Amino acid sequence: MIDHNFNLYILRCLLIVVGLSALPKLLQGQDSKAQNPIIHADVPDWSIIRVDDTYYMSSTTMHMSPGLPIMKSKDLVNWEIIGYAYETLADKDDVNLSNGKNMYGRGSWASCLRYNQGTYYVSTFSATTNKTYVFTTDDIESGQWMQHSFEPSLHDHTIFFDDDGKIYIIWGGGQLKIAELKPDFSGLVDGSERVLIENAHAPIKTEIMLNAEGSQLFKVNGKYYLFNIAWPRGGMRTVIIHRADKITGPYEGRVAFEDKGVAQGGLIETPEGNWFAFLFRDYGAVGRIPYLVPVQWVDGWPIIGEDGKVPETLDLPANNSLIPGIVSSDEFNRKKKDPKLPLVWQWNHNPNNDLWSLDSRAGYLRLTTGRIDNSIVEARNTLTQRTIGPECSGITSIDASGMKEGDFAGMVMLQQQYGYVGVTIEDGKKSILMVRNQSKGDEPKVEERIALNQDVLFLKVVGDFKERRDIATFYYSLDGKSWNKIGSELQMRYTLPHFMGYRFGLFNYATKYIGGYADFDYFRISDQIDNK
């Protein structure tokens, strides 16, 4: 006869086992949810469309070439770069970083991505060229984009294809204007321009630090919804929505969302009929980072957030690593059919394609100097990738045997206030050095210099963006195994003159003689910080 207490003991054990076996599923259920921010990297001004079950996104990359990135996702959460709308914005001194001119913080700004009757459209505008651009293709994933442009540059515009076949464009800051676009995108239809909303930030009813801008227009259930952002003094970036029965108005507006400064964007609907607002947040040195916020419809208005707040998790698939979709390591080995550079790379301004190569030495990126420069922010052919949060590190190996007297080569944390670690040659002798430009207007300062008695050097830069700590630390190694900190930490700061999150950059520039070269063996990025 089995003791009753023993039966209870067995039963409790079974319950514990069942509970433990269910625990991973419960944890898996928690882990399977998406986390905000969706992308912890600089992907501002995003514009999203869905075609069938695939989402596409465009974004801003200012002074980088190629420009106007196009990204793809199957779940709204995990994105990969699939192309760019243009290779070069123009061929002029500002864009080429030549003759003392630059387009830092300008280049091309907020874009608008649309799909209509089998054709994809992405538009942008540029203060550098004073033009508005519309790029078109029938194959967004592998086709070529055709460029159309006209003057002037229409600030923060949104394009809309209406049901009657007319194409409209809305733009401006504070006062918003509307006009019809010519079907060939060569300009505005004569006589169609007029004021749409005289004061788009009026719903805020307080003093404004940033006028309403960032227009994105959507049509849902027969009504038009115009999204803008404004910034009340002493407050935060705020979403404003105007609604109308006709695209030309009249519009009624309201403050739609105010939390954590998450703002500027629009609406997207999933195939299942769920709605989200795609918005971004200024988040310190890493840049402006994307968030998704649930939307419910009440009385014909989109209600953003969960009790007016940005949720930490979403009922969407879990975030994968941003590697390799947004950033990626590169061994610089190429097969015949491989692209010269993976899409994660962008040049700081237009490159001089005669002065970089992956063929001169197999398995290496060679950067050759072709002119005299005084600093890294003036140097052409700096190859960059985004940094990612909450932390990341980049490692490279450089062969300095081809460098000349006065050359500087290495890896930079690039923004207006930059820091880098690298190699230079003075009086025929190589040195490892860490250089920092910590404050606006300051001359770059050599924080530490160490004699180098070999050609190959290993470099590492780490970025700590946790809770906006925004610290970059610099290291070198003589063998690729044992790392030594060099110089001072860089307090990274997001500055408006560059208007971009910090980027890793590989560079080589000359201060005395041209024709020297540096060979980079690889670039390896990690979403972990290893300070050893």
CATH number at residue 254: 2.115.10.20
pLDDT tens, 410-431?
A: 999 999 999 999 999 999 999 9
What pTM does this model have?
Answer: 0.92
- Are residues 358 and 255 both part of a single domain? no
Q: How far is CA 377 from the centre of its chain?
A: 19
Helix (H) or strand (E) holding 238: strand 238-244
Residue 134 burial by CB count (10 A; 0-12/13-18/19+): exposed, middle or buried?
Answer: buried
pLDDT at 31: 62
Q: Which residues contact 373 (CB under 8 A, 6 or more apart)?
A: 379, 380, 509, 510, 511
In a domain, 265, yes or no: yes
pLDDT of residue 519: 98
| Per-residue pLDDT at 532 exceeds 70 | no
| Residue of 453, 454, 457 lying closest to 411 (CA atoms) | 457
pLDDT digits (tens, 9 = 90+) for 171-211: 999 999 999 999 999 999 999 999 999 999 999 999 999 99
Shared-domain flag, residues 403 and 497: yes
Dist CA 348 CA 377 (whole Å): 9
Q: Is residue 486 included in any domain, yes or no?
A: yes
- Residues 86-95 have a mean pLDDT of 97
pLDDT grade for 11, boundaries at 50, 70 and 90: very low
- Look at residue 327 in the predicted model and tell me its pLDDT: 98
Task: Decide which of 269, 297, 314 is a domain's last residue.
Answer: 314
Judge if 225 and 281 occupy the same domain: yes
Q: What is d(CA 226, CA 438) in angstroms, rounded to the nearest whole number?
A: 40
CA distances for 253 relative to 45, 197, 242, 246, 269, angstroms: 22, 10, 4, 14, 22
Length of the chain: 532
pLDDT at 350 (0 to 100): 98
pLDDT in tens, 93-144: 999 999 999 999 999 999 999 999 999 999 999 999 999 999 999 999 999 9
What pLDDT score was predicted for residue 32?
Answer: 86
Same domain membership, residue 172 and residue 109: yes
Kindly report, residue by residue over 325-378, the tens digit of the pLDDT: 999 999 999 998 899 999 999 999 999 999 999 999 999 999 999 999 999 999
Q: Looking at residues 58-71, what average pLDDT do you find?
A: 97
pLDDT of residue 442: 73
**Residue at which a domain ends, from 289, 314, 339:** 314
Q: Both 374 and 297 in a single domain? A: no
- On whether both 190 and 136 belong to a single domain, the answer is yes
Is residue 237 located within the same domain as residue 374?
Answer: no
CA–CA dist 279, 276 (Å, integer): 9
For 477, residues 6+ apart whose C-beta sits below 8 A from its C-beta are 457, 458, 459, 460, 483, 484
> Where among 288, 314, 340 does a domain terminate?
314
Q: DSSP secondary structure string, 434-452?
A: EEE--STTPPPEEEEEEEE
**90 phi, psi to nearest 5 deg:** -165, 175
Torsional sign, CA 237, 49, 155, 160? negative
CA 527 to chain centre: 16
**Same domain assignment for residues 404 and 522:** yes
Mean pLDDT, the chain, rounded, equals 94
* Res 362: pLDDT: 96
Check whether residue 80 and residue 188 sit in a common domain. yes
Classify the C-alpha dihedral 13-14-17-20 as positive or negative: negative
The per-residue pLDDT for 439 is 76
Asked if pLDDT for residue 14 goes beyond 70, the answer is no
pLDDT at position 9, please? 45
Q: In terms of residue numbers, what domain contains 497?
A: 351-526
3-state percent breakdown (helix, strand, coil) of the chain, nearest 5 = 10, 45, 45
Phi and psi at 189, nearest 5°, equal: -65, 130
Say if residue 201 is in the same domain as residue 273: yes
The Cα–Cα gap between 446 and 250 comes to 60
Q: Is the pLDDT of residue 461 over 50?
A: yes
Whether 1 shows a pLDDT value over 70: the answer reads no
Based on the domain organization, do 167 and 260 belong to the same domain? yes
Q: What is the pLDDT of residue 441?
A: 67
Residue 332 lies in a domain: no
Contact 179, 168 (CB under 8 A): yes
Structural domains of the chain, count:
2
